[in-house]
Amino acid sequence: MTATRPVPTTIPGRSVRLQPVQRAHLPALFLAIGHPVVFAGGYGGGASGYRGKC
């Protein structure tokens, strides 16, 4: 059986809406998680994965 990539779909919920990531989302995502303390916890490859700008 040949694998097929699913069609990107927005999934609405009561409290949140999940939508496929787009390049336009990157600045807001960086503002939310682009902090050394987040990477120090192991996210994104640990402290060495942190970059100070988007």
| pLDDT value of position 50 | 83
Q: Using alpha carbons only, how large is the chain's radius of gyration in Å?
A: 15
Amino acid at 8: P
Yes or no: say if 44 and 50 are a contact pair by the CB < 8 Å rule. yes
Per-residue pLDDT of 1-54, as tens digits, reads: 899 999 999 999 999 999 999 999 999 999 998 888 888 887 777 887 888 877
| pTM exceeds cut of 0.85 | no
Residue 26 is encoded by which pair of tokens? 């990157």
